[in-house]
Amino acid sequence: MRMYDLILKKRDGMVFDKEEIDYFVQGYTYGKIPDYQVSALLMAIFFQGLNEDETFFLTQSMAESGEKIDLSDIPGIKVDKHSTGGVGDKTTLVLAPLVASCGIPVAKMSGRGLGHTGGTIDKLESIPGINVDLSIQKFIANVKKIGISISGQTGNLAPADKKFYALRDVTATVDNISLIASSIMSKKIAAGADAFVLDVKTGSGAFLKNIEDSIKLGRLMVDIGSKFNKQTIAIITDMDQPLGYAIGNSLEVEEAINTLKGNGPEDLTNLCMELGACMLLLAEKTENISEAKRVLRKKLENREAYYKFLEMVEYQGGDTEAIEKMQLPKAQIKHEIIADSSGYISKMKADDIGRASMILGAGRQKKNDTIDLAAGVLLNKKVGDKINKGDVIAWIYTNRQDAVLEARDILRKAIHIEEAPSDERPLIFGLIDSKGQYTEY
Ligand code: URA
């Protein structure tokens, strides 16, 4: 087999078989095929697409390119949740202890943020002392003992995806539905859970900006899950404005803690209820969604979900007193963004707000950049809210004086005020069940 022939084949719109896909995945992962040929192949895939079988073979090949985690020692149905990425998306911090407090074993491998989107592992690191780099043995032992563990992905989990993703990132080939689906699902399959709940984001802050593409991505991932005999549900949710009010690592942890105590923002709480209910169903803990939501609400009200979070932090070496007293990293500079007209907030562009937060220090522009855990943006208003001239729309938090003006200008352009209220955008657009059936909410 020759790489040249594979590039030509895809360029001319033909279909790969499993052997051909294994050839280029393994060849690239083990350094036998150069970047320039894989770049050409990715661009051919971007324009010609992959069909469902090719996407499945690609997922399988990447999932098998490295270590696979065996969770079979942990009793019960392990349900993993994954978000396609967004701004202010701290659902894992709430959802993981919430469902763990209902008896679902949570063995969660999470990632770091890149670009304008955040990552759970960076957020958790704002808790003093916490270890998010657990060995596989410790990771599994904690789940067996207390029902929950969140750790960074081991270096050898789907290494093919790591290499392909880095190349896609610099060759403008990230936003292809088949490539996104196989990238996400290869890591999920390698991480060993029995079932998946996928939060597919749609809107300005998501990889896919329109609802049709997001549904296609959700369906494709559900199909891949079922081909691996893993029950998978996807819900399509809004990422046109940030989730909740906080964007930035310690700010988001604080908001997640408040949510676990029952005092969180409505959108974040409702999303956690929806995702959590799907997880309870797949784990066979409840018969239907409304019963599941009732169980989840109780776990917030009686604080069991919050205590589970504290227990997880303690088992991972973190300072629980710092959480109880909310002593998380704080920025030295706090700057107000003031409304220059009255009306209603009509838009809060999530991607731009994420970018402002990154410039303030909360995110990485390049993979090895260090981040400022205290930096970010705290919104005071959300889309649909009434606002008067002179009101605070948001606060900037940073330790970089030189970033304030640039972030302020981005935020001013990202947040639109109009005289009349605009139509409300739903938080949840619909659900794709494990048979691939889409139901609009
Ligand atoms: N997240 C991933 O893990 N992979 C993609 O391709 C896009 C989002």
For atom 7 of ligand 1, which residue has the closest CA? 180
Closest ligand 1 atom number to CA of residue 184: 3
* Structural domains of the chain, with CATH: 3-49 (1.20.970.10), 79-159+170-324+427-440 (3.40.1030.10), 333-418 (3.90.1170.30)
For residues 274 and 83, is the Cβ–Cβ distance under 8 A?
Answer: no
Q: In the annotation, is 161 catalytic?
A: yes
For residues 344 and 385, is the Cβ–Cβ distance under 8 A?
Answer: yes
How far apart are alpha carbons 313 and 412 in whole angstroms? 37
Q: How many CA atoms lie within 13 A of 439 on its CB side?
A: 6
What number of other Cβ atoms are within 10 A of residue 270's Cβ? 15
Q: In the annotation, is 351 catalytic?
A: no
Task: Give the pTM.
Answer: 0.95
For atom 6 of ligand 1, which residue has the closest CA? 180
Structure tokens at 126: 């704002």
**Annotated catalytic residue: which of 162, 187, 219, 355?**
187
Helical residues (DSSP H) of 87-158, grouped into ranges: 91-100, 120-124, 136-146
**Annotated catalytic residue: which of 82, 163, 230, 381?**
82
The Å distance, Cα 399 to ligand 1 centre, comes to 30
Pocket perturbation via mutation, ligand 1, pick of 50, 183, 213 by most ligand atoms within 8 A of CB: 183
The pLDDT of residue 115 is 73
Predicted confidence (pLDDT) per residue in 166-201, tens digit: 899 889 998 899 999 999 999 999 999 999 999 999
Closest ligand 1 atom number to CA of residue 168: 6
Q: In the annotation, is 11 catalytic?
A: no
How far apart are alpha carbons 185 and 220 in whole angstroms? 10
Q: Is the dihedral of CA 196, 201, 206, 212 positive or negative?
A: positive
How far apart are alpha carbons 274 and 430 in whole angstroms? 11
What number of other Cβ atoms are within 10 A of residue 132's Cβ? 20
State the Rg of the chain over Cα.
22
Q: How many CA atoms lie within 13 A of 229 on its CB side?
A: 1
The pLDDT of residue 345 is 97
The secondary element (H helix, E strand) that includes residue 221 is: helix 211-227
Comparing C-alpha atoms, which of 345, 358, 354 is closest to residue 393?
345
Q: Which CA distances in Å does 407 have to 332, 368, 392, 403, 441? A: 16, 22, 15, 6, 36
The Å distance, Cα 100 to ligand 1 centre, comes to 26
Comparing C-alpha atoms, which of 345, 341, 353, 347 is closest to residue 395?
353
How far apart are alpha carbons 375 and 45 in whole angstroms? 38
For residues 203 and 350, is the Cβ–Cβ distance under 8 A?
Answer: yes
Pocket perturbation via mutation, ligand 1, pick of 82, 174, 200 by most ligand atoms within 8 A of CB: 174
Cβ partners under 8 Å of residue 72, min gap 6: none
For atom 2 of ligand 1, which residue has the closest CA? 184
The Å distance, Cα 412 to ligand 1 centre, comes to 29
Pocket perturbation via mutation, ligand 1, pick of 81, 84, 167, 168 by most ligand atoms within 8 A of CB: 84
The Å distance, Cα 224 to ligand 1 centre, comes to 15
How far apart are alpha carbons 352 and 272 in whole angstroms? 24
Task: Enumerate residue ranges in the chain where pLDDT < 70.
Answer: none
Pocket of ligand 1, beta carbon within 6 A: 84-85, 165, 174, 179-180, 183-184, 207
Buried b (16+ CB within 10 A) or exposed e, 165-193: bebbeebebbebbbbbbbbbbbbbbbbbb
**Annotated catalytic residue: which of 22, 80, 89, 161?**
161
The Å distance, Cα 306 to ligand 1 centre, comes to 30
Query: In 183-226, at which residue ranges do the beta strands (DSSP E only) sit?
Result: 195-202
